Amino acid sequence: MAARLLSSKELIVLSPDGRLDLDASEAALEQLLLSLENDPAKAVVFDLRGADCTLSVVEIYGVVDFLSRYGSKRTLYGKIAVLLDAEASQRKAAFFALCARNRGFEAKAFNAVEDIGAWLGVDASDLLRPAC
């Protein structure tokens, strides 16, 4: 099973003061969703390692709500994995996955590429490139 990697730089747009710019982030996500229409991958990995901002619970919910309104299960594949640094907030990542599952997506939070590989049933070395 192939996976499409989406880095934090593609997903999160910051305002000049370093806070999430939700409108700009939604516009970036919309463009990404359009680019995924004909992608043959079977899973998407949101690589948030090294992200420059911390999303609030409300912002996480807003991102998932946007994905559920504008992305389809076909566009976002069968599985969504969220990859974080080991020290990142696992509770927020788990909340993202919970919200996505509540919207009909199969989603889970991870802090190790190898665990994503096992979940998807692929060799982890083929799964992701290093985070930028």
Per-residue model confidence as pLDDT tens digits over 71-129: 655 555 567 888 877 666 778 778 888 998 898 888 888 888 888 888 887 777 766 55
The DSSP call for residue 130 is P
The structure tokens 């083929």 sit at 126
pLDDT, position 68: 80
Please check whether the domain covering 3-126 is classified as CATH 3.90.190.
yes
The structure tokens 């594949």 sit at 77
Per-residue model confidence as pLDDT tens digits over 64-82: 888 787 765 555 556 788 8
Per-residue pLDDT, averaged over 6-19, amounts to 77
Phi (first) and psi of residue 111, to 5 degrees: -125, 10
In whole angstroms, give the CA distance from residue 76 to residue 54.
23
pTM of the complete model beyond 0.95:
no
pLDDT, position 132: 40
How far, in Å, are 53, 64, 86 from residue 76 at the CA level? 24, 12, 25
The DSSP call for residue 131 is P
In whole angstroms, give the CA distance from residue 132 to residue 128.
11
In whole angstroms, give the CA distance from residue 55 to residue 63.
10
How many helices (H) and strands (E) would you count in the chain?
6, 4
